[in-house]
Amino acid sequence: MHFFAVFLLFAFGTMAATMFLHSMFSFLRDRWTHTACLTGIALAWLADFNMWTGWHVGLRYDWVGITVSGLALGGGAMFVHALLGFFSGLDKKFHDQAEVMEVHELRKVA
């Protein structure tokens, strides 16, 4: 369970680093998936994070576990980003869209 919490926090960090890279470099705007996966792999290698050892999954080579953990971090970052985007868009959908419909579309009918 400890490794899952660390994985989730690293996924948040990967998402933040990917968002930072997207704001700094304009050529990365259409490459969210690639950037998230490469950032996750880089973070896993920098932290030497191998989640498979925490779950007692034996791998022959340690570098495979670290690289696959980084890919999983990139996937977790993409999931967290989509989830946060969904919940941040709900406020706009519930409030702004109803107000626009009342103000603009009902005046056209009347």
Kindly report, residue by residue over 41-81, the tens digit of the pLDDT: 999 999 999 888 877 888 889 999 999 999 999 999 999 99
Let me know: does 17 contact 10? Beta carbons within 8 Å.
no
Percent of all residues in the chain with a pLDDT value above 90, rounded to a whole number: 48
Q: What is the pLDDT of residue 105?
A: 61
pLDDT category at 107 given cuts 50, 70, 90 is low
Q: Give the integer Cα–Cα distance in Å for 85 and 83.
A: 5
Report pTM: 0.77
Q: What is the pLDDT of residue 79?
A: 95
Q: Give the integer Cα–Cα distance in Å for 40 and 50.
A: 12
Q: Give the integer Cα–Cα distance in Å for 43 and 93.
A: 35
Q: Give the integer Cα–Cα distance in Å for 108 and 5.
A: 53
Return the domain boundaries, the chain.
2-109
The residues, ordered by sequence, that sit 6+ positions from 105 with a Cβ below 8 Å of its Cβ are none
The helix/strand/coil state of 110 is: coil
